Structure 1
Amino acid sequence: MIETLKTLFSRDLLRLKSEIELYQNEKDIWRSEKGITNSAGNLCLHLIGNLNTYIGSVFGKTNYVRNRELEFSLKDVPKSELIKKIEETIKVVNDALNQVSEDELKMDFPLLVFREKTTTEFMLIHLTTHLAYHLGQINYHRRLLTQ
Structure 2
Amino acid sequence: MITETLKKLFNRDLIQLKLEIESYQNESLIWHYEKQISNSAGNLCLHLVGNLNTFIGAVYGKTGYVRNRELEFSLKNLPKSELTSKIEDVIIVVNNALNTISEEEMQKEYPLTVFESKTSTEFMLIHLTTHLAYHLGQINYHRRLLDIK
Same fold at TM > 0.5: yes
Question: Is 1:89 matched up with 2:86?
Answer: no
Match of residue 38 from structure 1: 39
Match of residue 58 from structure 1: 59
Listed as ranges, the gaps of 5+ residues in structure 2 are: none
Q: Deviations over 1:45-72 (max 9, x none)?
A: 0000000000000000000000000000
Match of residue 28 from structure 1: 29
Listed as ranges, the gaps of 5+ residues in structure 1 are: none
Question: Is 1:105 matched up with 2:115?
Answer: no
3-state SS of paired residue (1:52)? helix
Percent identity over the alignment is 72
Match of residue 7 from structure 1: 8
Q: 1:26 is aligned with what amino acid?
A: E
3-state SS of paired residue (1:118)? coil
Query: Deviation above 6 Å: which 4+ runs of structure 1?
Result: none
Match of residue 146 from structure 1: 147
For the aligned residue pairs, the C-alpha RMSD in angstroms reads 0.4
TM-score, structure 1 normalization? 0.99
Give, in angstroms, the shift of residue 125 of structure 1. Answer: 0.1
3-state SS of paired residue (2:43)? helix
Q: Deviations over 1:65-106 (max 9, x none)?
A: 000000000000110000000000000000000000000000
TM-score, structure 2 normalization? 0.98
Paired with 1:128 and 1:53, the residues of 2 have a C-alpha distance of 14
